Structure 1
Amino acid sequence: MRPQPRRQFLYLCAGGATTLLFACTPDPGADIDEGGSTDTGETGDGDGDGDGDPGACSDPFAGGVLLGVMTSFEGEGQTSVGDPQGQGLDGRLALDLGTLEANTLITANQDFFVRTALPDQLDLGQAWNLRISGLVDAELDLSLEALAALPQTSRVVLLECSGNGNNRAFGLISAAEWSGVLVSEILDMVSIQAQATAVLIQGFDQHSQPSASSTPGCSWVFRFAELAAAGAMLATHMNGEPLPPDHGQPLRLIIPGWYGCCNAKWVDSIRLVDDTEPATAQMLEFATRTHQTQAHALAADYAPGIMQQAAMPVRVEQWEVDGQLIYKIVGIMWGGTEVTHALAIRFDGGAAVPVQVCPAHATNDTWTLWSYAWSPPAVGTYEITMAIDDPEIPTVRLDSGYYARRITIEMV
C-alpha cells in the first residue's frame, strides 16, 4: 500500500469498498462514444437521466480501498464549524459539510446551521400570539393552538444563509423536514382589502447586546404569488420535533428555495401591505446577497430572494484501485428552480468536464450529492470550481467563483 500524505487527511480507513453513488461520474477508463455515453458493460441507458436501470451507475472505485479523506480546504476558516459561537445576532453554528453521506441529507436539529441565535429578550414561557393586521377588514390574533387546528403540511427544505462563505467553510447551509401551516391557509382566514399587494412577515428580533455586523429586524415582504409559488409555511416543527429555540421556536417562516435571510424566525406578525411599503431593514441589509440590482427603497422593487443553482465539493477521498491512486471528489448541488443534469467541474479554470448526476437530480427542495473520479496530473494545489452548463439556468454566484475551493494534493 502507498504511504499516506501527512497534511489534511483527517482519518484513515483499514479498507473497504463502500462508495457514495448518489451521483457519480463515468469510469475514467471506460470508452466514451460520440454521444457521450459510457461503455461499462452494465445495463441501462447511461445518460444519467434516471429512466434506465437505477443500478446501472458506473463505479470507478468498486473493489478499491479507501485510504484517507480530506475535508478541509486551503485558505478557509473553520470558525464555528460544528461548534456554537457567539450569542443573539452574532450567534453562529456551521455544519461540517465534509461528513455528508447519502443517509445524512437531513440535518439533525443540533447540527443545523445557526445564523442568529435566540434573542435574549424573548420569553418563550409566555403564550405566543400571531397577529394578522394591515390592509384587512378586521385584524386577527391566532394562538398556537388555533394554528395547530388548521390543515398541516410537511416538506423537506434546504436553507442557506445568503452570507454563507469560506470563512466558515461554507457551513451555513442545512436541510430539514419542516412541518406547519401553509401561509395561504392563514391568509384565507381574513378579509384582505383590494389595495393589498403583498405580505410583510416579521419575527421577534430584540437583543440586549448590539451586533457589530448585523442589523436587527427579522422581516421580509412577499407578493402573494411568491408565497403561493414557493409553498411558504409557518413551521412549528423541525424533523418531527418542536422547533428548537435557535431555529425559531415556536414559529418560523419557511419559504422553500429562498435564502435563509428571508425565512424569519420567531414569527409574531403578518401585515398586509401595498406597493408603497418601504423595504425592511433586513431587505436593505441583504439586497446584494439576494441578487438585487441595488438596495431598493420600496419592497415592491425587490426580486424574489431565490437561491440560484450552485454546487461545490465538500471533501476529497484518496482511493487505491487496482494498484492505482485515484481521488474521489464528493460534492453537493443545491438551489435553483429547475431540475438539471448539466453539472460540470473545472480545475484551475480549465475546461468544464461534465459530471454525470446518477441517480438523477430529482428535486430543488434539498441538495443532491455527486462524486467525480479524478487523477491529478501532478502534486500541487488545485482550485476546483463547478458550473451548470445550461445558459437558461441563473448561476451568478456560482459563475463568480464564490464557491471555489482549493485542495493540496501531495501524492499522485
Structure 2
Amino acid sequence: MGTMLRRRDFGKQAVMCGGALLAGFERVHWPMPNVAGLEDRSEDRSKDPFSGGRQLGTADFVNPRPLEMEAAQGTELDGRLYTDLSKLSPQELAIPTDEFYIRTRVSKLLPEPKSWRVRVDGLVEKLRNRTIEEFGIATKPMGLHLMECAGNGPLVHFGMISVASWGGVPLTDFLEGSGAKPYASRVLITGFDQYAAKSMSSVPGASWVFPTGELRAARAFLATEMNEKPLTEDHGAPVRLVVPGWYGCACIKWVTAVTFVDDTAKATSQMQEYAARTHQNSLPMLARDFQPATIDPAAMPIRVEKWVVEQKIKYRVVGIAWGGAAPVKTLMIRFNPEEDYVPLDNFAQSKNDPWTLWTHAWSPKEPGTYSIRLAAKDPSVRTRRLDSGYYVRSVEISEV
C-alpha cells in the first residue's frame, strides 16, 4: 500500500508545479462578519484581504513526530484513526465517517447486532431489555455534534477531534417510563468491554456514571446513525452514547446497559483513568465527587495558507473554535510570546457545538518559527486548556 498523500505534501507539490490551486480553497467563501465589541474595525473587514490573490501552498506545522492521518491502524484497544483537520471548510463542517477519529476499535468478540439488547436495571421497579429493533423505530435526527478525545494533543497532531451528523434516541425518551426509584440520582452507562488481545497502551473500561440532571441538560442521546447512515462498528454500533459538550471518554460505545444508581455509586475504572485529562482535582473514589467531563471553550489553527496578493506574500491562518456552554464573543491571537494578543480578523461564533471556523490575515516580518496561540479574554469564561497553552501550534515560515 502506498504512502497517503497528505495535504501539506500536496501543497508542496502544487508550488513545484507552478502554484496550482490547493483543493479548491481559493474558491472558498469566508464570510466577513462584524464581531461584537469590534465594530470600529468593520471597515477593515468589508474587503477580503486575499481578494484577487493566488494561494501558493501551505506552511508546515512543527509536529513532534510523523503520523499517518485518516487511516485506521491497530486493533481493538490499540486501534486508532486520526482526523486531518487541515481540509475543513465552512461549506462542510461534518467529517466523513471513515475519517472521523477513533480512540478504540471494535472488539473481535463483539456479539452480532441482531441479538443486541440494552438492559435497563438497577434502582428500578422492573428490569427491562430494549432491542435494536426498538431503537430503529425510535431513531430521529439529532444534528451536528462535536466529539473530542480527552487525550487529544500535539503527539497526535490534534487529530482526535471530529464532528458528525448524528441520529438516535434522546436518552430522556429512552428512560421514560423506566420506573426509576425516587433516590436513583445517577445513571451508569456500560458498554461491551471484552477483547481478544491484551493491550500495550490501554486498559479495559467502558462505563461512566452521570448525574441524571447533567444528561438531561446536555441532551444526551443513544446514537444508532452517523452521517445519515447506520453507525459503524468502530464508532460504537449498534448503539453508542453521545453526550454533547463532554469529552469522548464519556461517550460510551457498544452500550449494553443503563443502570440507575444512587449517590453511593463508585467511580468506574474509566472515570479514574481519565481523571487528570478531564480536569479532576484528585482521584475520587465516588462518582458523586467527579466534576462533569465537559469541554471548556478552546481554539487552535488548523492550517496556514501561503498567498501572493498584489505581488506580496501574505498568510491566512485558518482555525477552529469549540467547546463551552455558550458562544465566545471575542478570540485573540498572537504569534510569539513577546507579542501582544490581537483580535481575530474574522470570527463570529453563534453556537459552541459543533465548531466554528475562523480566519486571520498575517504578515510575519521575517522567516522563522512562530508559535500560534489563541486566548479568550473574558474573565467569566473558564478556558483551562487555552490558558495553559495546550493548543499552541508552531509553524515554519520560509518566505515573507
With structure 2 as the length reference, what TM-score do the two structures score? 0.91
Which residue of the partner structure matches residue 59 of structure 1? 48
Distance (Å, rounded) in 2 between the aligned partners of 1:365 and 1:283: 23
Q: 1:348 offset after TM fit, Å?
A: 1.3
Shift in CA distance, 409/254, structure 1 to aligned 2, threshold 3 Å: same
Aligned amino acid, residue 156 of structure 2: R
Q: 1:143 offset after TM fit, Å?
A: 0.3
Which residue of the partner structure matches residue 58 of structure 2? 69
Q: Which runs of 4+ in 1 moved over 6 A?
A: 23-26
CA contact (8 A) 1:22 1:369 kept: no
Q: Deviations over 1:51-97 (max 9, x none)?
A: xxxxxx53110011111123x41133342412212111111000111
**SS of the counterpart of 1:110?**
helix
Distance (Å, rounded) in 2 between the aligned partners of 1:7 and 1:146: 47
Which residue of the partner structure matches residue 12 of structure 2? 9
Q: Where do residues 184-199 of structure 1 align in structure 2 (5 Å cutoff)?
A: 184-199=172-187
Q: 1:24 offset after TM fit, Å?
A: 7.5
Equivalent of 1:18, from 9, 27, 45?
27
Structure 1: 5+ residue stretches without partners: 1-5, 27-32, 41-45, 47-56
**SS of the counterpart of 1:398?**
helix
CA contact (8 A) 2:247 2:294 kept: yes
Shift in CA distance, 410/151, structure 1 to aligned 2, threshold 3 Å: closer
Aligned amino acid, residue 41 of structure 2: S
**Greater helix share, structure number:** 2
Shift in CA distance, 346/320, structure 1 to aligned 2, threshold 3 Å: same
Aligned amino acid, residue 21 of structure 1: W
Q: 1:194 offset after TM fit, Å?
A: 1.4
Which residue of the partner structure matches residue 134 of structure 1? 122
Q: Where do residues 261-340 of structure 1 align in structure 2 (5 Å cutoff)?
A: 261-340=249-328
Q: 1:153 offset after TM fit, Å?
A: 4.0
Which residue of the partner structure matches residue 93 of structure 2? 105
Q: Where do residues 111-260 of structure 1 align in structure 2 (5 Å cutoff)?
A: 111-150=99-138, 152-260=140-248
Which residue of the partner structure matches residue 340 of structure 2? 351
CA contact (8 A) 1:307 1:336 kept: yes
Distance (Å, rounded) in 1 between the aligned partners of 2:162 and 2:194: 25
Aligned amino acid, residue 341 of structure 2: A
Q: 1:22 offset after TM fit, Å?
A: 4.8
Distance (Å, rounded) in 1 between the aligned partners of 2:346 and 2:311: 27
Equivalent of 1:84, from 67, 72, 82?
72
With structure 1 as the length reference, what TM-score do the two structures score? 0.88
CA contact (8 A) 2:144 2:163 kept: yes
Shift in CA distance, 10/190, structure 1 to aligned 2, threshold 3 Å: farther
Structure 2: 5+ residue stretches without partners: 1-8
Distance (Å, rounded) in 1 between the aligned partners of 2:300 and 2:167: 28
Q: 1:8 offset after TM fit, Å?
A: 7.8
**SS of the counterpart of 1:104?**
coil
Q: 1:18 offset after TM fit, Å?
A: 2.9
Distance (Å, rounded) in 2 between the aligned partners of 1:35 and 1:218: 48
Deviation larger for 80-89 or 104-113: 80-89
**SS of the counterpart of 1:288?**
coil
Q: 1:187 offset after TM fit, Å?
A: 1.1
Q: 1:366 offset after TM fit, Å?
A: 0.7
Number of aligned residue pairs = 385
Aligned amino acid, residue 235 of structure 2: H
**SS of the counterpart of 1:39?**
helix
Distance (Å, rounded) in 1 between the aligned partners of 2:109 and 2:38: 64
2:26 counterpart of 1:38: no
Distance (Å, rounded) in 1 between the aligned partners of 2:39 and 2:140: 47
